[in-house]
A = this chain, B = another copy of it.
Amino acid sequence: MVAYFATEPESLLADALNGFCRVHADLVVRDAGGGYLRARHPSPGRRVGLVSGGGSGHEPLHIGFVGAGMLDAACPGRVFTSPHNRQILEASRAVAGPEGVLHIVKNYTGDRINFGIAAERLAHLGIPCARVLVDDDLATATDGPGPGRRGTAATVLVEKVLGAAADRGADLPELLRLGERVTARCRSLAVASRSHALPATGDPAFELARNEVEFGVGIHGERAERAIPREPLTRLLERMTDPLLAALAPAREEPVILLVNGLGAVTELELYAIHDAVERLLHKRGVTSARCAVGEFVTTLDMRGFSLTLMVTDRETLELYDAPVHTPVWRW
């Protein structure tokens, strides 16, 4: 349908990373080998370095969240392809603190394997390493064995909270415990009304009928189990919010952080209108949303869709979320 504005599909990522590092030269530096981006002014006093990464095509994740208060380094793989374990190893060696390095990994087989190999090589070098696995996508929840839930938009919340905890001097076991606690308390669901276009050909990754919505789509364009007929927005949002609340079961005194995340081509008007409707739904369900972020954080190239993420918080998580951050995307 639409070809990409790119010199060559193969050079799209390299050119984009060049541009990104030039525009944000005050905040990020690319290593000489090109395998990772690191914070120019990392948080002082961290005992543990924070590294994330994954396939590209989800920008601003992860590169937009490198900087003081969040990630020390991000390793971009090719579009929708896990980074090589060497990238992760080099990034980890570069930013490891005196007590080691924490990997924040979205739950996909390729990422698990490559971060895993890097972790083994780090162990060999005597650098302590632990992993927090983000697996928030409720659309892929199953009772039986299998790969488990995919990691999607909650990743930015996890990176923010762990970044603040690392700033406060948390050690590796503390970060791991906190990471397991917060990832267990966030879930996401995504829908789309038009797939992304494939960078190589411009063809849509999949076809949807005009009056259908893909319910539970993945951030690489993984098809959902079902497409549902389009229905009024509030009904669609109930269909998303209620299962999230059922899975998380926040207590009365536990406010949530709400993330309304555009997947690429949804307008800002829609995202804020969606936010407004979800806030009303949460209120109706007796749930307090203590913080909210609306925008594009974890995208699927130019997909026309959005995701909702809820993270159940306590006082500590909220304090960590509120702590100062200075990255290309989030600054407060």
Contact = CB atoms under 8 A, between A and B. Distances in A.
Nearest to A305: B5
A12 B56 contact: no
A17 interface: yes
A234 B194 contact: no
B299 A302 contact: no
B210 A1 contact: yes
Nearest to A301: B267
A234 B7 contact: yes
A238 to B, nearest CB: 12
A245 interface: no
Given A23-B292, A210-B1, A302-B265, A276 B194 contact: no
Given A279-B19, A292-B22, A2 B193 contact: yes
A294 B7 CA distance: 18
A93 interface: no
Contacts of A23: 272, 275, 292-294
A162 to B, nearest CB: 23
Interface residues of A, number: 59
Nearest to A289: B22
A267 B2 CA distance: 12
Interface in A277-332: 277, 279, 292-294, 296, 299, 301-302, 304, 306, 331-332
A242 interface: no
Contacts of A57: 267, 269
A323 to B, nearest CB: 16
A136 to B, nearest CB: 21
A270 B5 contact: yes
A269 B233 contact: no
Contacts of A232: 7
A202 interface: yes
A174 interface: no
A198 interface: no
Nearest to A266: B5
A89 to B, nearest CB: 25
A284 to B, nearest CB: 15
